[in-house]
Structure 1
Amino acid sequence: MSKYRSFGVGAIVLFLASLAGLAIAFYAYITPLTGVTGTVGALIAIVACIALAVLALILSAVKRRGARIALRVLILLGLSGTFLAGLLLHLWWLSGAMVIGLVGLIIDMVRSTHHTRPVHS
């Protein structure tokens, strides 16, 4: 196995879910008659999705264990908050995208622990 890790599958899933959430929140923010057109809540959801996408890219590049744990905690808080915002704004697809992002975060955690365990012969 290569010493250098490319983008992990979990980080890619998290990044794509963040982009999907961004598209959904942006659509709701600019489209008339969505119920949240031009609201601060939809704007905060847009900013949160952008932050989650950036954190997913950083997560895939960071190698140190402590930094990865701190990023995962921040991402989990961001996913939880954006999921709740999606529920409160009645943007069910946004909440669904955050659940998919959570799946990506779980995949990232499982795959990284699998690759860092020492192999006993």
Structure 2
Amino acid sequence: MSRSHSPRLGAIVLLVASLVGAVIALRAYFTPLTGVTGTLGALVAILATIALAIMALILPALKGNAARNAWRVLVLLGLAGTFFAGFLLHQWWICVAMVVGLIGLILDMALATRTARPAHS
């Protein structure tokens, strides 16, 4: 993988996890007998995962460490809140998707740090 694309890998993992979480939340909201069909909690989970997907799209475009770090904190709060919502809704696959999103966020931080350091010769 080239150096120019490696920092985006974490954002891509976060985006995919958020979209998968949105699909799972949509299924829980609309499918009968899930226990959360039509509930406000499932609707909030849908909106939260869509917000996380939008945040994942914005993450690679941010310039400056302060802006990226502030955005990462917001993403982390979104992941934690959505994980908790999935936990309360007994939608374990939403929880799994948010853990994968956390891995993507960690990848984003690790790869950005690695590419920001000068190469040793």
Residue of structure 2 in register with 1:94 after alignment: 94
Residue of structure 2 in register with 1:10 after alignment: 10
Residue of structure 2 in register with 1:78 after alignment: 78
Q: Distance in 2 between matches of 1:11 and 1:120?
A: 27
What is the CA deviation profile of residues 40-95 of structure 1, one whole-angstrom value per residue up to 9, with x for unaligned ones? 00000000000000000000111211110011000000000000000100000000
Q: Distance in 2 between matches of 1:19 and 1:57?
A: 11
SS of 1:36's equivalent? coil
TM-score normalised according to structure 1 size: 0.93
Q: Distance in 1 between matches of 2:113 and 2:98?
A: 23
Residue of structure 1 in register with 2:105 after alignment: 105
Gaps of 5+ in 2: none
Q: Distance in 2 between matches of 1:35 and 1:9?
A: 35
Residue of structure 1 in register with 2:26 after alignment: 26
SS of 1:69's equivalent? helix
Q: Distance in 2 between matches of 1:42 and 1:91?
A: 9
Among all aligned residue pairs of Structure 1 and Structure 2, give the percentage whose two residues are the same amino acid.
61
Note the C-alpha offset of 1:117: 1.1
Residue of structure 1 in register with 2:66 after alignment: 66
Gaps of 5+ in 1: none
Point out 4+ residue stretches in structure 1 off by more than 6 angstroms.
none
Residue of structure 2 in register with 1:45 after alignment: 45
Aligned residues: 119
Q: Distance in 2 between matches of 1:103 and 1:82?
A: 15
TM-score normalised according to structure 2 size: 0.93
